[in-house]
Amino acid sequence: MFRRYTNKFLEIKNMKKIAIIPGDGIGKEVMKAAQYVLDYFDLNFDYNNALAGRECFYKTGSTIPDETLKIAKKSDAILFGAITSTPNQKSPIVTLRKELETYGNLRPIKSFKGVKSIYNDLDFLIVRENTEGLYSQDEEIIEEDEKVIAKKIITKKASKRICEFAFKQTIKESRKKVTAAHKSNVLKLTDGLFKKTFYEVAKDYPNIETEDYYVDATSLYIVTMPQIFDVIVTENLYGDILSDEAAGLVGGLGLTPSGNIGEKYGLFEPVHGSAPDIAGKHISNPIAILLSTSMMLSYLKYEYEAKLIEKACSEVLRKGNVLTPDLGGKAKTYEMADAVLCNIRELE
């Protein structure tokens, strides 16, 4: 009897709290797919649903209510769907990244066998700074309708933190090279500081190859010779643009996951948005959120389950008989999620 209580106590003590924020549009559809797969594993997780996004704004008057921030801050990890932006209102995901200090955004770019794409041999990682740059959202009207300015904030502290994070991730993933992308020939102060800090940090990692390119050249090379990249580290806006560009090379937004990592929290989300054009049709591709879920499980040290999801997603794409329309198939979101689950069972 005592042992049973002890076990129960340990189970509760080790229970991970997960905030689930489906958001709007296809965010809600793909989140159901993620929960379906998570439920299968029956992990020791305590799930807490929270609201954010445009629908939430209509309901509560806020795109990201305090209650949601409270739930997120009490969690070990947060799984986020997608939101539709609301004019003149705070962006929930930018607010979450800032409030949770998840300064490092990881965007793996991997080719999948069976997916028709421009390249089929890609495997690199984009590491995006998440807390500053033009996303400081510090804009000012100098002259109404004539002149407006946006401040780009780059600090030594955040640049150092993201570059260190990129080098550590390079080691963790047994990668070999880090490329910094910037525009220091034009933005001499801001991007100049980023570049300088990158090479200062690089001195602590002598076994890792380093290089830097202007961001325009980087975006060209991502299209013309992406195989040269292993890890790209860059500031906020460049990272956003480069990762969408790179997603286009490996089968589109329906396949690209991301993780936002800080000292205390991990926030995981597909790179795609709420896709209002297909929302409600149940044809959204769930692979991006399933791979984000896999990243979350790996972050929480559930490596076995994380790998199973990743492998099962690859298998479904390789077999190619259950695909959503964005990949040329006719399957519904839940059918593809079910195919992933069937493959998980087969692989176990």
271's torsion region: left (phi>0), alpha (psi -120 to 50) or beta?
alpha
85 part of the interface to ligand ATP, by CB under 6 A: yes
Stretch that binds ligand ATP, among 125-133, 177-185, 221-229, 272-280 (CB under 6 A): 272-280
The alpha helices in the chain, defined as continuous H runs, are 2-13, 26-41, 54-60, 66-73, 92-99, 156-172, 190-202, 215-224, 236-247, 287-299, 303-319, 333-347
Q: Which is nearer to ligand ATP, 233 or 290 (CB)?
A: 290
Instruction: Show the 3-state SS of 91-123.
Output: CHHHHHHHHCCCCEEEEEEECCCCCCCCCCCCE
**At 200, which amino acid appears?**
E
204 classed as catalytic: no
Per CB under 6 A, 253 contacts ligand ATP: yes
Min. distance of Cβ 285 from ligand ATP in angstroms? 4
Cβ-contact 312, 347 below 8 angstroms: yes
Q: In the annotation, is 240 catalytic? A: yes
Applying CB under 6 A, the span of 13-21, 120-128, 179-187, 275-283 interacting with ligand ATP comes to 275-283
To ligand ATP, the closest distance from the beta carbon of 32 in angstroms equals 13
Residue 185 DSSP one-character state: T
From the list 193-201, 283-291, 311-319, 334-342, the region that binds ligand ATP by CB under 6 A is 283-291
* Total site size for ligand ATP, rule CB under 6 A: 18
Look up 36 and say whether it is catalytic. no
- Minimum CB separation of residue 251 from ligand ATP in Å reads 10
Contact, 296 vs 266, CB < 8 A? yes
Catalytic site residue from 46, 138, 204, 216: 216
Stretch that binds ligand ATP, among 59-67, 162-170, 173-181, 280-288 (CB under 6 A): 280-288
Distance CA 125, CA 344 (A): 25
Dist CA 21 CA 27 (whole Å): 9
For ligand ATP, the closer CB: 125 or 287? 287
Q: Which of 170, 274, 293, 314 binds ligand ATP (CB under 6 A)?
A: 274
How far is Cα 31 from Cα 23, in angstroms, rounded to an integer?
9
145 given a catalytic annotation: no
Q: Binders of ligand ATP among 141-200, rule CB under 6 A?
A: none
Q: Give the C-alpha separation, 329 to 327, whole Å.
A: 6
Determine if 97 is a binding residue for ligand ATP (CB under 6 A). no
Least Å distance between CB 289 and ligand ATP? 8
Report the site for ligand ATP in 13-42 (rule: CB under 6 A). Answer: 26
Rg (CA), the chain: 20
Among 103, 135, 238, 265, the one annotated catalytic: 135
* Of residues 130, 103, 133, 125, the one with CA closest to residue 222: 125
Instruction: Map residues 296-335 to x or -, x wherever contact with ligand ATP holds by CB under 6 A.
Output: ----------------------------x-x---------
Beta bridge partners, 45, equal 16
Count other Cβ atoms within 10 Å, centred on residue 196: 14
Closer residue to ligand ATP, CB minimum distance, 34 or 297: 34
Q: Work out whether 284 is an interface residue with ligand ATP (CB under 6 A).
A: yes
- The whole-angstrom separation of Cα 212 and Cα 178 is 8
Catalytic positions: 135, 183, 216, 240, 244
Task: Summarize as ranges the residues that interact with ligand ATP (CB under 6 A).
Answer: 26, 82, 84-85, 253-254, 272-278, 284-285, 288, 324, 326
